[in-house]
């Protein structure tokens, strides 16, 4: 009986660990074999996804409510903003306009949707042959993909860094073993 309980416990731990590694951006996906405009753009989105995954991993209610001063956003408000930016990024790759409101979601749902948006955008970019069709559309106003780079992608990277800073300030440092250079997590 004791061996059976030990076996069940070992399977549960292994399954949990494997499930975490299958999450969007637990590790950055392998680099494309060729350098093209679309594969580089895809990799930029993957870099954002990896950083966001670990910036938001294990956040507590205390972390989500933290803000450095009365004028700043809370971590959760910053995460809401990053979700919106991820929607602009994926909408561009799906060739649809922006403006739809997000439904009410929990933090975990927002985190999962943000990561899914980034993964979908990266996948589309990686398979594309040109960036020319991926415009940002707000109503009748269109912006070329260039604005995607200096706009939503860079802005989301900026705000992901804020989440890291805020979590450190609220007493929950960035997880150990994460290498943003390698795109890996040492267990």
Dump pLDDT digits (tens) for 126-170. 999 999 999 999 999 999 999 999 999 999 999 999 999 999 999
Tell me how far apart the alpha carbons of residues 112 and 162 are, in angstroms, rounded to a whole number: 19
Tell me how far apart the alpha carbons of residues 76 and 32 are, in angstroms, rounded to a whole number: 33
Q: How many CA atoms lie within 13 A of 91 on its CB side?
A: 19
Question: Model-level pTM greater than 0.75?
Answer: yes
Alpha helices in the chain (DSSP H): 2-22, 37-56, 61-65, 75-94, 107-127, 145-148, 154-169
> Residue ranges of the domains in the chain?
2-175
- Please state which CATH number belongs to domain 2-175: 1.20.120.450
| Range list of β-strands (E), the chain | 136-138, 141-143, 178-179, 184-185
pLDDT of residue 6: 42
pLDDT beneath 50: ranges in the chain: 4-21
- Rounded to 5°, angle at Cα 82 from 159 and 129: 105
Identify whether the C-beta of residue 111 lies closer than 8 Å to the C-beta of residue 56: yes
pLDDT of residue 76: 98
């Amino acid at each position: 009986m004791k061996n059976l309980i030990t076996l069940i416990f070992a399977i549960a731990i292994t399954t949990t660990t494997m499930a975490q590694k299958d999450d969007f951006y637990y590790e950055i996906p392998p680099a494309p074999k060729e350098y093209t405009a679309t594969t580089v753009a895809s990799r930029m989105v993957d870099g954002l996804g990896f950083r966001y995954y670990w910036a938001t991993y294990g956040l507590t209610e205390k972390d989500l409510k933290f803000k450095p001063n009365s004028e700043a956003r809370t971590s959760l408000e910053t995460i809401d903003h990053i979700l919106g930016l991820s929607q602009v990024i994926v909408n561009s790759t799906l060739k649809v306009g922006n403006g739809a409101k997000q439904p009410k979601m929990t933090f975990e749902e927002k985190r999962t949707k943000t990561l899914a948006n980034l993964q979908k955008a990266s996948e589309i970019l990686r398979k594309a042959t040109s960036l020319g069709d991926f415009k940002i559309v707000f109503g009748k106003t269109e912006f070329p993909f260039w604005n995607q780079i200096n706009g939503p992608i860079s802005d989301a990277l900026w705000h992901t860094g804020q989440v890291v800073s805020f979590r450190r300030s609220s007493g929950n440092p960035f997880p150990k073993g994460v290498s943003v250079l390698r795109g890996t997590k040492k267990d």
